[in-house]
Amino acid sequence: MKEEKFEIEWGGRKLIVTIGKFANQANGSCTLQYGNTLVLATSVMSKEPREGVNFLPLLVDYEERFYAAGKIKGSRWIKREGRPSDEAIITARSIDRAIRPLFNENIRNDIQVILTVFSFDQKNDPDCLSLIAASIALSISDIPWDGPIAAARIGMINGEWVLNPTYEAREKSDFELIVAGTGNRVVMLEGGAKEVPEEIILGAVKYGQKHLNKIVNFIKEIQKKINPSKSLSVLEDKKTPEKEELEKKVKDYLEKTIPKILFDSPKKTKKERKETINLLKEKLDNYLENEGVGKDKRASASELVEKIVKEKVSQFILDKEIRVDGRKLDEIRPISIEVGLLPHNHGSAMFKRGDTQILSIVTLGAPGEEQYLETMEKIGKKRYFHHYNFPPFSVGEVGPIKAPGRREIGHGALAERAVLPLIPEKEKFPYTIRVVSEVLESNGSSSMGSVCASSMSLMDAGVPIKKQVAGIAMGLVSEEKDGEITRYKILTDIQDLEDSKGGMDFKIAGTKDGITAIQMDTKTKGLTQKIVEETLYLAKKARMQILEKMNQVIATPRPKVSPYAPKIITFKINPEKIRDVIGPSGKVINEIIAQTGVTIEIEESGDVYIASDNEESLEKAKEWIKNITREVKVGEVFQGKVTRILDFGAFVEILPHQEGLVHISELAPFRVKKVEDIVKVGDIIPVKVINIDEQGRINLSLKATQHHQFRQKDKTRPRHHSKFPKKKPFYRKK
């Protein structure tokens, strides 16, 4: 393919697309540059459909490269990139959620989209650029796809909208929201906020869509220039007459049976509905057997049951506003809450909504137990983190226990983002905070259940979060014609059978004062602004109801942390004294830790954090460090240890690792011939600070502390000093 370049001005920077330069064996490829951040996007589709699948086999990978940021991985032994970072996995999930609904559901060929970050300027985030690049790579390929779409990050600083804010600007922003779609429809939302009202978030969506139009039209121009020929054959639903006849029989039977078996007596729990559907499959199998349908064909017919059931559930909601469990459209399932369930943990809470049950557990650690981050984008520390576990028993299944997958990482990060704005600053609460949410039952938004359980478990642990955080998942039932939604109903607190074609999963978390996290994906061709607006306000109503129930159980944090949590004391030292506490090669601080058993963290600002289960050890370490860093003043008197003796005087350690000189003339109120006549190494003697010179050297005096005693002795002392009795001085202490 001939190399071609396309440019457009967007948000004060150039967006540059290059096609035909790299990866020309892919079905579609391009590079996208914004500032000095450059991403390669490739899209590939297998030539043959995958056998035995009844879904779209789409895989999206986002590959960070350390060389993109001019970094070499810090590990001494492993220098190449390994497992994707959590941030990379979350970005891949976001791109997947944005492009997936625009594929035809009949495609069974494997499709893979890979985004590789080649260059990263540490100003322009590659995530939105990668989504746009994926949109271009698919649009110019032969892969059938109902794009293009675009994505933009929206922020607000001092009440002003900001398009694609840099990392520095994002620190000052009240929120950041990624909006993906076109000028009139939204296919994906992802963001976090500092308790921002619904109307501001809605304004951000509208502002983002206005700027997406420019990029969508730009991609259409590129697509027109490339003029790809789409492989429409993969869209064909290859049904035989026999298969069509079988499907008609199944639909006719289920159309009559489903209303009676599911809606005449609503099933309140997932287990009851599952048993009902299994019974329905058995009855269908018997019916087809009586109709002369063979065993193999009856097995394939069974797979249609859940699809048709979901379609019927959606139809009842649209036509009659009847939900399968009998709830109203805006009604939340029954909620039960407990806190402090576990006997020896720092904090715990259980949140159960319908058939979704989450147990969140808090562990408080020393400041030094922060998580170290090393990714392409950033190197730093993280003191609050949330982990989410989804074992197979939570959905009544058998399966292997594996390392956290994309779903677990994504859901954990969403709940973490929701609670993060409420976490107290390190200066007020110096602990490292880990929350783990164990999904014990799952049927409808375990991630939002994790938000609620996490918030309460933090309060139970005595973490001074400002207020409770809750979350709710909103759904949609809709009908589309030519890609436009013609009829719809919004559902509060969706569950199992309600998540189907024409739906959405719109998760919104926040406090009584505003939104803290938002995530939306859809099974439509995109939502209108009206649907987004209605959903935001219905979610707010539901959130307030959940917060009320949470506050009835625990409304404020415990006054103290658990007795099983480590104790932490904090204080400040002169930053110039940090090296004295550390010592050469860490000798001093390691000695303190070894002798007290505490953990110590010292920041560049001079903030010192000491943690231990033993209060006596805490105080000992604190006093030790304070003595090392104490600034001596003229006139102070110390009991010091003689450490060295020279011809002209004795060095005395008055504080840990702080010495001063007692000149030979300051040892006694008379002329001293030899220093050893008065003091010896190891003696503990009283000394007074008489001078500190410009270089910080401390001058001490022994005679200034014992002057009156010397005078008493002088009366009996021989005239010649050399005949002074050779005995241990009366003021020397061993």
pLDDT tens for each residue of 254-271: 888 888 888 877 777 888
Chain mean pLDDT for the chain = 90
| CB proximity list for 294: less than 8 A, separation 6 or greater | none
Mean pLDDT of 392-413: 93
Q: What is the CA radius of gyration of the chain?
A: 35
Q: Which spans in 428-502 are helix H?
A: 446-460
State which of 16-30, 272-286, 677-691, 705-719 shows the largest mean pLDDT: 16-30
Q: Does the pLDDT of residue 82 top 70, yes or no?
A: yes
By C-alpha distance, which of 386, 371, 370 is closest to 419?
Answer: 386
User: d(Cα 485, Cα 481) in Å, to the nearest integer?
Assistant: 6
Mean pLDDT of 64-85: 90
User: What pLDDT does 415 receive?
Assistant: 97
Residue type, position 206, single letter: K
Give kind and range of the element (H or E) at residue 688. strand 684-692
User: What pLDDT does 429 receive?
Assistant: 94
Would you give the DSSP letter of residue 35?
T
**Domain boundaries along the sequence of the chain:** 4-235, 241-320, 335-478+528-553, 567-629, 637-723
User: d(Cα 229, Cα 144) in Å, to the nearest integer?
Assistant: 9
Residue type, position 279, single letter: L
Strands 607-612 and 567-572: antiparallel
**Tens digit of each residue's pLDDT (9 = 90 or more) over 32-50:** 999 999 999 999 999 999 9
Q: Does the pLDDT of residue 719 top 50, yes or no?
A: no
Q: Does the pLDDT of residue 721 top 60, yes or no?
A: no
Give kind and range of the element (H or E) at residue 608. strand 607-612
Q: Does the pLDDT of residue 734 top 70, yes or no?
A: no
Q: Does the pLDDT of residue 733 top 70, yes or no?
A: no
Q: Assess contact for 349 and 339: CB atoms under 8 A.
A: yes
Q: Report the CATH fold assignment for 637-723.
A: OB fold (Dihydrolipoamide Acetyltransferase, E2P) (2.40.50)
**Tens digit of each residue's pLDDT (9 = 90 or more) over 437-463:** 999 999 988 999 999 999 999 999 999
- Name the pLDDT band for 483 (thresholds 50, 70, 90): confident
Q: Which spans in 554-705 are helix H?
A: 578-582, 587-596, 615-629
CB neighbours of residue 393 within 10 Å: 13
13 or 707: which carries more pLDDT confidence? 13
Mean pLDDT of 658-667: 91
3-state secondary structure of 440: strand
Range of weakest confidence among 354-368, 551-565, 591-605, 627-641: 627-641
State which of 93-102, 599-608, 615-624, 712-721 shows the largest mean pLDDT: 93-102
Query: Can you say whether residue 266 is alpha, beta or left, with left for phi > 0 and alpha for psi between -120 and 50 degrees?
Result: beta
Q: Does the pLDDT of residue 117 top 90, yes or no?
A: yes
567-629 and 637-723 have identical folds: no
User: What pLDDT does 253 receive?
Assistant: 86
pTM for the structure as a whole: 0.87
User: What pLDDT does 249 receive?
Assistant: 85
Q: Does the pLDDT of residue 715 top 60, yes or no?
A: no
User: What pLDDT does 730 receive?
Assistant: 44
Q: Does the pLDDT of residue 732 top 50, yes or no?
A: no
Would you give the DSSP letter of residue 370?
P
Mean pLDDT of 372-398: 92
Query: Can you say whether residue 473 is alpha, beta or left, with left for phi > 0 and alpha for psi between -120 and 50 degrees?
Result: beta
User: What pLDDT does 687 receive?
Assistant: 92
Tell me, letter by letter, the H, E, C secondary structure of 494-547: CCHHHCCCCCEEEEEEEECCEEEEEEEEECCCCECHHHHHHHHHHHHHHHHHHH
Q: What is the DSSP annotation of 214-266?
A: HHHHHHHHHHHHH-PPP-GGGG-----HHHHHHHHHHHHHHHHHHIIIIITTT
- Name the pLDDT band for 302 (thresholds 50, 70, 90): confident
| CB proximity list for 204: less than 8 A, separation 6 or greater | 154, 156, 161, 175, 177, 179
**Tens digit of each residue's pLDDT (9 = 90 or more) over 559-570:** 999 999 999 999
Q: Does the pLDDT of residue 711 top 50, yes or no?
A: no
Helix 270-290 and helix 304-320, axial crossing angle in degrees, nearest 10: 120
User: What pLDDT does 501 receive?
Assistant: 87
Would you give the DSSP letter of residue 733?
B
By C-alpha distance, which of 356, 358, 384, 359 is closest to 370?
Answer: 384
Dihedral (Cα; 529, 531, 537, 540), 10-degree rounding: -110
Q: Does the pLDDT of residue 100 top 60, yes or no?
A: yes
Read off the tokens for 645.
């003796």
Range of weakest confidence among 292-301, 313-322, 377-386, 454-463: 292-301
By C-alpha distance, which of 478, 587, 573 is closest to 534?
Answer: 478
User: What are φ and ψ of residue 539, in 5° steps?
Assistant: -65, -35
**Tens digit of each residue's pLDDT (9 = 90 or more) over 166-223:** 999 999 999 999 999 999 999 999 999 999 999 999 999 999 999 999 999 999 999 9
Read off the tokens for 180.
């993906």
Instruction: Confirm or reject CATH 3.30.230.70 for domain 335-478+528-553, answering yes or no.
Output: yes
- Name the pLDDT band for 519 (thresholds 50, 70, 90): very high
Helix 270-290 and helix 241-258, axial crossing angle in degrees, nearest 10: 130
**Tens digit of each residue's pLDDT (9 = 90 or more) over 424-434:** 999 899 999 99
CB neighbours of residue 483 within 10 Å: 11
What is the side-by-side order of every strand in the sheet holding 599-602? 567-572, 607-612, 599-602
By C-alpha distance, which of 522, 526, 444 is closest to 96?
Answer: 522
Q: How far is CA 648 from CA 72, 376, 651, 675, 732, in A?
A: 55, 59, 10, 8, 19
Read off the tokens for 3.
């190399």
Cβ-count burial of 697 within 10 angstroms (0-12 exposed, 13-18 middle, 19+ buried)? exposed
| CB proximity list for 389: less than 8 A, separation 6 or greater | 404, 408, 436, 437, 438, 439
User: d(Cα 385, Cα 516) in Å, to the nearest integer?
Assistant: 16
By C-alpha distance, which of 494, 482, 491 is closest to 447?
Answer: 494
Dihedral (Cα; 354, 330, 508, 311), 10-degree rounding: 80
Q: Does the pLDDT of residue 724 top 60, yes or no?
A: no
User: d(Cα 429, Cα 470) in Å, to the nearest integer?
Assistant: 22
Range of weakest confidence among 126-135, 147-156, 490-499: 490-499
Range of weakest confidence among 107-121, 456-470, 511-525, 562-576: 562-576
Vertex 207: Cα angle to 515 and 492 (nearest 5): 40
User: What are φ and ψ of residue 659, in 5° steps?
Assistant: -115, 155
User: What pLDDT does 543 receive?
Assistant: 98
Mean pLDDT of 122-134: 96
User: What pLDDT does 610 receive?
Assistant: 94
- Name the pLDDT band for 718 (thresholds 50, 70, 90): very low
Name the β-bridge partners of 186: 181, 527
Mean pLDDT of 521-525: 94
User: What pLDDT does 725 receive?
Assistant: 46
Q: Does the pLDDT of residue 624 top 60, yes or no?
A: yes
Would you give the DSSP letter of residue 442?
-
User: What are φ and ψ of residue 519, in 5° steps?
Assistant: -150, 130
3-state secondary structure of 432: strand
Instruction: Confirm or reject CATH 3.30.1490.100 for domain 567-629, answering yes or no.
Output: no
Q: Report the CATH fold assignment for 4-235.
A: Ribosomal Protein S5; domain 2 (3.30.230)
